[in-house]
Amino acid sequence: MILLARVIHVIIGLFFISCLVYLFISAFSRELTFWTYFSFISISLEGLLLLANKGECPLTLFQNQLGDNKGFFDLFLPNKALPYVIPVFTILTTLAVILIFFKHFYN
């Protein structure tokens, strides 16, 4: 069960990372598509969910209930890097949105 929870968590995590990558692709290609809006809304909802859970991913909390003490980024990053993950992704998302705004509306 723990392995299944980790696999699902990795798939969802990769989905959100791909949404972030797509926002940068949209910014540099200067194209606003359905997928740009879909990515933005998906990341925004995830951000609200993290905010509501005080920075903790609900899937990590679920994994903890199963007896697994590792979240998504715990699988790939050293413990020293973990406190910086959410702030870095927040900055990257904000940067992507700013780039989309300026590249699309001011050029």
Q: What is the CA 95 to chain-centroid distance, rounded? A: 14
CA distance 54 to 83: 13
The pLDDT-based confidence of 68 (bands split at 50, 70, 90) is: confident
User: What pLDDT was estimated at residue 26?
Assistant: 95
User: What pLDDT was estimated at residue 55?
Assistant: 83
CA quadruple 91, 24, 57, 67: dihedral, nearest 10:
-120
For residue 2, give the nearest of 66, 73, 84 by alpha carbon: 66
Domain range annotation of the chain: 2-105
What does the pLDDT look like over 1-57, one tens digit per residue?
888 988 999 999 999 999 999 999 999 999 999 999 999 999 999 999 999 988 888
What does the pLDDT look like over 76-106, one tens digit per residue?
889 899 889 989 999 999 999 999 999 887 8
